[in-house]
Amino acid sequence: MNSNIFDKKHWIVAIVAIAVVGVVVQYRYMNEFPAFIHSWSQTDRYSIAIGFLNNDFDLFHPETLIYNKQFPHWWKTDSGSTITSVDLPLMEYIVATIMKLTDSTQPWIFRLCTFLASLTAVWFVYLLGRRLGGHWLKGLLVAMVAITSPVFTYYANGFIPSIPAIAFSSAALWLYSKHLNNGSKTKYFNLSVLMLTLSVLVRMSLAVVLVAVLAFEFLRFLRKETSLWNKVPATILSAIAILSYMLWNKYLREMYDTMFLSGLMPADSLGETIDLLKQAADNWKYQYFSQFQQYILATVAIAAIGFGIYRRCTNICKQTSMKHKPLSLWWLWALCMIGYTMFVIVMVKQAPDHDYYFLDTLFLPTLLLLMLLLKATPNIPNKVIATAMVFILIGTATTKMTVDVAKNQKVRRDYNDRSYQTAQNYQGAEEFLDTQGVPHDAKILALYAYPQNTPFILMNRKGYTEMWYDEDIIEAGLYTFDYDYIVIENDRYRKEFDYHRKYLNRLQRIADNGKIALCRYTDTVVCITADDFFEHK
């Protein structure tokens, strides 16, 4: 009875701690339009959710709001459709459903869904850390490190699919740990494979965790720790689901082009690989985990190694047999690390500029490493004073990590950032175009607006993006695309006029709302100076 009472109290403490830390660092950003770091990727995902509202919720024909895709023609070709290939947009579909029910496309809907997924991910990290470490405070420490990781926190209420994929994977690893404790039944193994399959469909890089679990299970079979054939059906169904969607995605990519990278990006040489990894370390070394969190990891590692050596020496002295012990979970961690090391190498060109690739790769293995190191340390004595002291230490560390990551949240938001300025300029764009009688099915050419989907989300219209300044891309848009109107930001027009005079002096202003201008492209020079553009229609 007493054990159950304390267990319930521990659950409550963990739930409250996770929820409070999550809310403290996120509440002020819960309706923020995606901007700042990686606003490009985030607005693309946001637009997919809106796309489901436009295509009657056709899950297998996802679309954004742009006709000229990045791949394979680098925005220079009208694909004729806004459909795009993408990993299974399950979160976007859920978000679109809520948008439909609430009759709103405000950012808070997407952010709230991702935030709940992030809390779910941290909860399963807690459960797994508790199970592996043998004490609830060990699980709580790992959970607090996870939820205050700067990169995790930044995207924890964002728009990229890494967060829901981590939620599926962390749940899967917890289920797999239950299977290891009760290997005579395949229920937990099957549920684990189901969760891992969903994580892979949502974010393909999580396939490494699935392969690592299956490889670990095979090693256990070779050691005669488990049977294999009763796990074949779930494995085959998982492979069929993943391969089927990969083939469907390939079809979408070939038929409609794509907004999303679908190939590998290895370096051209070993030297370049090393240089790119150094750049990534310089850019993000305290964004993956803060300096304080790295101290925690180092301290736990030193303690685990010390206790490990002590136990090893004790076992040798006592001549304790090491045979017949189950295959160590360190093998599972090693398999994950091998897989993700290979993945990082073949995608290394993305590493310096894409901090969220850490979430897709080494985030979970690092948390698993911390769990295994904590497992190697002695359990806290079952005494109130000792437990209270450790609880206070973890509470102090959590406070420090929460304060650090809250500051980091502010640092990551540069209000001079181009993506933020674009979002601000296009606020109210839908109403402005409505007042000018621009139909919602009109195709808009958004000139020099960054990132690509931002103007179309805020205009609530589809069209063509021309966010780069390359002349071949601009000329393809101006001269060959089937657009009805051009929209350009007023400050961008003034800033770029002297540099791109041969295009901008042919724009005829129809109207503007002080922030953006609705224009037509003419065959003759209309404006000699930027001021002429705003003085004449």
Q: Place 439 in a pLDDT band, splitting at 50, 70 and 90.
A: very high
pLDDT tens for each residue of 461-484: 999 999 988 899 999 999 999 999
217-243: average pLDDT? 93
Q: Place 73 in a pLDDT band, splitting at 50, 70 and 90.
A: very high
Least confident of 260-274, 320-334, 448-462, 501-515: 320-334
CA–CA gap between residue 49 and residue 90 (Å, rounded): 9
Alpha helices in 55-106 (DSSP H): 90-102
pLDDT for res 184: 64
43-59: average pLDDT? 97
192 and 336 housed in the same domain: yes
Percent of the chain residues past pLDDT 90, beyond the cut: 82
510-516: average pLDDT? 95
The parent domain of residue 503 ranges over 419-535
Q: Place 456 in a pLDDT band, splitting at 50, 70 and 90.
A: very high
Q: Residue type at 428?
A: G
Asked if residue 180 lies in contact with residue 327, where contact means CB atoms within 8 angstroms, the answer is no
304 and 353 housed in the same domain: yes
Asked if residue 430 lies in contact with residue 459, where contact means CB atoms within 8 angstroms, the answer is yes
Give the chain's radius of gyration (CA, Å): 26
325 and 459 housed in the same domain: no
Full strand arrangement of the beta sheet holding 444-447: 463-466, 444-447, 485-489, 516-521, 507-512
Of 371, 390, 411, at which residue does a domain stop?
411
320 and 239 housed in the same domain: yes
Of 411, 442, 477, at which residue does a domain stop?
411
Q: Place 30 in a pLDDT band, splitting at 50, 70 and 90.
A: very high
End-to-end CA distance of the chain: 81
Mean pLDDT of the chain: 92
C-alpha torsion sign, points 468, 470, 476, 478: positive
| φ, ψ (nearest 5 deg) of residue 458 | -80, -20
CA–CA gap between residue 202 and residue 325 (Å, rounded): 36
For residue 519, the cross-strand partners are: 486, 509
444 and 335 housed in the same domain: no
Residue 321 or residue 136, greater confidence: 136
Query: Which of 490, 329, 453, 474 shows the shortest CA–CA distance to 43?
Result: 453
- Joined tokens for residue 318: 């006592």
485 and 393 housed in the same domain: no
475 and 338 housed in the same domain: no
User: Looking at the predicted structure, is the pLDDT value of residue 1 above 80?
Assistant: no
245 and 381 housed in the same domain: yes
Instruction: Report CA 207 to chain centroid distance, whole Å.
Output: 15
User: Looking at the predicted structure, is the pLDDT value of residue 283 above 70?
Assistant: yes
Asked if residue 126 lies in contact with residue 137, where contact means CB atoms within 8 angstroms, the answer is no
H/E/C letters for each residue in 458-508? Answer: HHCCCEEEECCCCHHHHHHHHHHCCCCEEEEEHHHHHHHCCCCHHHHCCEE
User: Looking at the predicted structure, is the pLDDT value of residue 185 above 90?
Assistant: no
Calculate ∠ Cα 506-512-515, nearest 5°.
Answer: 105
User: Taking the model in full, what pTM does it have?
Assistant: 0.94
Q: Residue type at 56?
A: D
User: Looking at the predicted structure, is the pLDDT value of residue 2 above 50?
Assistant: no
Tell me how many domains the chain contains: 2
User: Looking at the predicted structure, is the pLDDT value of residue 508 above 70?
Assistant: yes
CA–CA gap between residue 145 and residue 374 (Å, rounded): 13
User: Looking at the predicted structure, is the pLDDT value of residue 123 above 80?
Assistant: yes
Q: Place 5 in a pLDDT band, splitting at 50, 70 and 90.
A: very low
- Joined tokens for residue 51: 């796309």
310 and 172 housed in the same domain: yes
91 and 191 housed in the same domain: yes
Residue found by looking up tokens 């398999």 in the block:
335
CA–CA gap between residue 385 and residue 398 (Å, rounded): 20
Helix axis angle, 291-318 relative to 363-375, nearest 10°?
Answer: 40
Asked if residue 145 lies in contact with residue 129, where contact means CB atoms within 8 angstroms, the answer is no
pLDDT for res 135: 87
285-295: average pLDDT? 94
372 and 433 housed in the same domain: no
CA–CA gap between residue 460 and residue 337 (Å, rounded): 43
390-414: average pLDDT? 91
User: Looking at the predicted structure, is the pLDDT value of residue 393 above 80?
Assistant: yes
- Joined tokens for residue 165: 């994929």
Of 411, 435, 468, at which residue does a domain stop?
411
At 158 the three-state DSSP class reads coil
Residue 532 or residue 198, greater confidence: 198
233 and 85 housed in the same domain: yes
At 381 the three-state DSSP class reads coil
pLDDT tens for each residue of 148-180: 999 999 999 999 999 999 999 999 999 999 999
Q: Residue type at 35?
A: A
